[in-house]
């Protein structure tokens, strides 16, 4: 389990499979957030929360611009998967 949580290769592969743009993955790498474990705790936001302002602000800072709907959706999905116990304990 720990190796999957800390595997940059597994994270990058999953991000690519769900449509996260390569330049965004590169920014996550540069910020040392390109593992399931690190991205899951990059922002104090819960996907079950009704207010996603913190996540949107985090993504805007990451992208250095307002995200479009597709970017926001794929990063939300990746964040959710990073926080889910099933994603962290099984290879993608």
Residues 6+ apart with CB under 8 A from 6: 35, 36, 37
15 lies in a domain? yes
Yes or no: say if 75 and 44 are a contact pair by the CB < 8 Å rule. no
8 lies in a domain? yes
51 lies in a domain? yes
20 lies in a domain? yes
Domain extent for 75? 2-87
Per-residue pLDDT of the chain (92 residues; tens, 9 = 90+): 456 778 899 999 999 999 999 999 999 999 999 999 899 889 888 777 778 899 999 999 999 999 999 999 999 999 999 888 544 444 44
pTM value surpassing 0.85: no
What total number of domains does the chain contain?
1
**pLDDT score at 32:** 95
């Amino acid at each position: 389990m720990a190796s999957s949580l800390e595997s940059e290769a597994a994270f990058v592969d999953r991000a690519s499979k769900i449509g996260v743009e390569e330049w965004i993955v590169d920014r996550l790498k540069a910020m040392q957030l390109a593992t399931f474990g690190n991205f899951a705790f990059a922002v104090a936001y819960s996907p079950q929360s009704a207010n996603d302002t913190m996540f949107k602000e985090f993504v805007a800072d990451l992208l250095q611009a307002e995200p479009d709907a597709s970017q926001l959706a794929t990063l939300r999905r990746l964040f959710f998967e990073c926080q889910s116990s099933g994603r962290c304990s099984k290879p993608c």
